[in-house]
Each structure stands twice: as structure tokens, then as C-alpha cells.
Amino acid sequence: MPNNTATKPVVLLAEVLSPATIEALGPDFDVREVDGTDREALFAALADADAVLVRSATRIDAEALAHAPKLKVVARAGVGLDNVDIKAATAAGVMVVNAPTSNIVSAAELTVGHILSLARRIPAAHASLSSGAWKRSSFTGAELFEKTVGIIGLGRIGALVAARLNAFDMRVIAYDPYVTSARAQQLGVQLVTLDELVAESDFITIHMPKTPETTGMIAAEQFAAMKPTAFVVNVARGGLIDEADLHEALVAGEIAGAGLDVFTSEPPAEGSTAQALLGLPNVVVTPHLGASTDEAQEKAGVSVARSVRLALGGDLVPDAVNVAGGVIDPYVRPGIPLVEKLGQIFSALAQSPITSLDVEVHGELNNYDVSVLRLAALKGVFTNIVSETVSYVNAPLLAEQRGIAVRLVQDDISEEYRNVITLRGALSDGSQLAISGTLTGPKQIEKLVAINEHAIELPIEKHHVVMLYTDRPGIVAVYGQKFGDAGINIAGMQIARQAAGAQALSVLTLDSPVSDELLEDVSVAIDADLFRQIEIAEV
């Protein structure tokens, strides 16, 4: 029997992942398994691996990477990347991906669970009752209604927590130096300083990344400023709250209690401050369960499996953390296929080699990171003009090899549309070419809105013909007749001109491609200065 896996890329599963993860990888890979905690076995398995999928137990560091000469991508089925040496992977040319949104709902719900557990003293009441006691008066709690919750960090998880606690009719305030007041208003949140937040809040929950700046950001000074009835919750990262200072504040009664899912060292070491926190009666603890739901684990595995497929296929990987592109905002994402198609149109209309290309982004999009649109433009430009497969990975290299200078140009001005993207390039014959497009309506219809100085508005379809000719009576009848005689249906048409008798630009949408002979016949019949057929490849 032939070996059908010989030419398939090897994907190594270093930890147990859901069946849905393997299903999402599909049949195109040689999927192998290894115990990633067994370093020698891991090193041996990495020798043939094109990709490795891990969770939290497997360390992919410089030593592991040295045993993986073929490795192209490390995929962490989860949010954190503490067990992956990103710097070493980048130096080795290995892409690192994770699943940044897989556990956000689970983490937000666990946060609310901790807040409710603290407010109503649920764990202590459970322990008392299960031991045989019935002490209702010992477990009087507090309502969340009309209390103030302070959220430190209004990112994806913080925003979900805000939405859920708004439903309890709480006053929601937040501290996040990178969030605008307009965004906070959308979330029903009032932005305040950190000092105001700790002083005013009945419940404080932290949702910040762990950095040198945020480590220990809630410490003795903040505890001293809190209400004695305040509760603090951390399901984000161990170390954001100074554990020694927290222990002192709880023992001294400076605050009422704490809910902790994460610790500086996990599991808490014998004799450590973290372990001392576990024994306090006003602390609710869980063993790092933020992502521990069936739904989150499945979403994480499926997400990174899809990223692996994209990475090994040479395509853009939205969740890559160490390559250009990065996480793409949902508002930017619909523009990617539009810009790829504009790139195809640009290269089809260019009458000589491209020497420089500006990717101009005009309008509201400039409130977001649009760097991915530069990659999309290059991929579109080269898709139909080079023999090799073009990807987001090699498109910049193709431009560099051809000496094409590429810039991303941005401004907020877009007079007719909310956003307009223009590809403007210089050609080797000294001419210039500009192609503009936009997305319109609730369905985000991709439209071509300008070619050079000619304004049009035509949905981008698979088959187009572009004609430039001197405007005069009867031209439309000429090419309409010829296409009709050949059985070519014109599904749409736009004509633009500057003045009577000047050059006219006609863009046709056709139901089928046109033969080279018919194109030449029509071009001669109308005495066209430019006549091009554009076939849009699938993106």
C-alpha cells in the first residue's frame, strides 16, 4: 500500500486536544501525537514537525526549537503564551499563534461567579451546610443592585464583564488609559482614574496583561484607599495584585474579601504567601479555571487548527503574534478581500511594470490598525502576474525583489463614502495609475469607485472589461452589438467622462469571459486607447 502521508506536512499534537481540533485540521496533514512534558520524546518528534500544537504544559523554548529544523508554526490552544519563547521563535523564523478570544466569555463569566460568591458568601455557606450546620444568620450577604463595580482594563474580557454587570443594575466604572470616552460610553461605563476607582468601588476586578508596568499594580497603597467593605477579584494573571499586601489587607480588615483564580506561582508553593491566602475565610479561590470550560477548550483548539492551516498554506494568519498583520479588527477585516481585488484590477490595467505603490486608506478606517491592507494590496497585485503561489507571507518579498517601493498612506478625509481605499502607483513608462474601491450598505458590497480621474460606482464581480476611448455617438451601440453577437451578456455598465468629446471610461460587468479575438475586434472597432479584460481570481 502506498504511503499517502509521505508528502503531507507533519502537525504534532504535544498535548491532548479536542476531537474538534483534529477535525478542523482536516485530512491534509500527517497528525502525530507526543507527550510534550517528556522533553526527549518532544525533541525527537519535533525533528519532522512543520507545526506543533500545545496547551500550557509543553515548553517550546530555544532548546526545543533547535530540534525542529522544519518547524514553521507553534500554535498555543489558549490565550497565554508563557510557555512559548516568542523571541526565540521569531529568531528561528517560526510563526507563533494563539487563540486570543477563545476563553473571553468563560473568563468573564467566572469573574461574575467570583463576585456573586463573595457577595453572597456561597462557598462558606456551602462548606458550613455540608458539614451538618444550619447557620443562616452567619452568612448574610449583600446585593449587587446599585453597588459600584470598578473594572481595571476595559479590553475584550473587561467589556464582557461590564455588559453582564450592567444587567445587575450596578454602577460600572473603569480605568483603562487606552480606551476612549466614546468607547466607554458605548459599553455603559464611566472612565475614572485608578485612584478614583479604588476609592469608589464596592467590587474591583482586574483584567490587564501582565507587564513590568502592571505587575503589583494593586498593592498596599491601593488597599489602604479602598472601602473596608470592598471585594477584589483577579482571574487575569497572577502577580497583578501583590499577594503579600493582599494578605495583610485581608487579615487587617482593610478590605472585606478577595476572589482569586490566578497566583504568582501555580500551584501555590508550600509556605508561600499565595498558600497562606488559601486558608483565609474571606477568600474565594479557584485553580486557574478562567478557560476551563468545554466551550472555551473547543474554541481554542479549533481556532489554532485553522491558524495552522493558514500558516502552512502561506496565507495571512490573523492571530499570529510575531508576524505582520496581527489581530485584525472586525471593522477592518471586510476590507481585506476588497483590497486584494483592487490589487488584481491594478495589475490588469498597468501597461508597464510597477515601480512604486501607495496603499491609501481614507476615512473612518484610520481609527484602526490597517497595516494588513498593505499586505492585501500586494497579494492582489501579484496574484495574476507571477508564477509562484502568492501569499501574505511572500508578497512583501516579491515586491522587494522587483524593486517596488510600497507605502501605507492614511488620512481621515473621505468626502463621498465612509471609507475609500486607493491603490496609487507609478509605472516604469512614467505614467501613473490609481484604482479606488469601497464597501457600501449593510451587506458591505465591494465596489469599484474610481479609475484614475474617472469616478464610477460598480460592484466588483468576476468578469470585467475596461475601455478608454474618445467619447462620440454610437460607441455603446458598437460594442454592445459585438458582444451580443458573440453571446456575451453585459450584466452591468458604468460610463464616466470629464466633458463631451473627451475621453470616456467604460467598465462592463460580463456574465462570462471574452476571447482574445473578440477583445481585439471590439478594441479596433471603437479605436480604444485602453482595452483590458479583468478576471478576478477567488480571494
Catalytic residues: 237, 266, 288
Sheet holding 10-13, edge to edge: 30-33, 10-13, 51-54, 73-76, 95-97
The cell for 291 is: 478557560
Instruction: Kindly provide the b/e burial profile for residues 445-472, where b requires at least 16 CB atoms within 10 angstroms of the residue's own CB.
Output: ebbbbbbbebebbbebbebbbbbbbebe
Taking CB atoms within 8 Å and a gap of at least 24, the contacts of 396-402 are 396/324, 399/357, 402/353, 402/354
Alpha-carbon distance of 8 to 50, in angstroms, equals: 10
The helix or strand, by DSSP H or E, that contains position 130, with its residue range, turns out to be helix 122-130
Beta carbons within 8 Å of 50's beta carbon, 6+ residues apart? 9, 10, 11, 29, 70, 71, 72, 73, 312
Is the separation of the CB atoms in 426 and 432 below 8 Å?
A: yes
| 3-class DSSP state of 433 | strand
Quote the CA–CA distance of 103 and 101 in Å, as a whole number: 6
- Count of helices and strands (H, E) across the chain: 18, 22
Spatial distance between the Cα atoms of 210 and 526, rounded to a whole number of angstroms: 67
Q: In this structure, are residues 69 and 47 in contact, taking their beta carbons and an 8 Å threshold?
A: yes
Cβ-based neighbour number of residue 521 at 10 Å: 14
Q: What distance in Å separates the CA atoms of residue 362 and residue 360, rounded to the nearest whole number?
A: 6
- Contact criterion met (CB below 8 Å) for 77 and 291: no
275 contacts 268 by C-beta, under 8 angstroms:
yes
d(CA 12, CA 325): 25
d(CA 95, CA 375): 17
C-alpha to C-alpha distances, 276 to 271, 462, 485, 536, nearest whole angstrom: 7, 67, 88, 65
Strand partners, 459: 447
Calpha distance 402→385 (Å, rounded): 12
Instruction: Give the whole-angstrom CA distance, residue 172 versus residue 144.
Output: 11
- Per-position DSSP letters for 369-422, written without gaps between them: --HHHHHHHHHHHHHTTSSSPP-TTTHHHHHHHTT-EEEEEEES--SSSSEEEE
Q: How far apart are CA 263 and CA 284, in angstroms?
A: 13
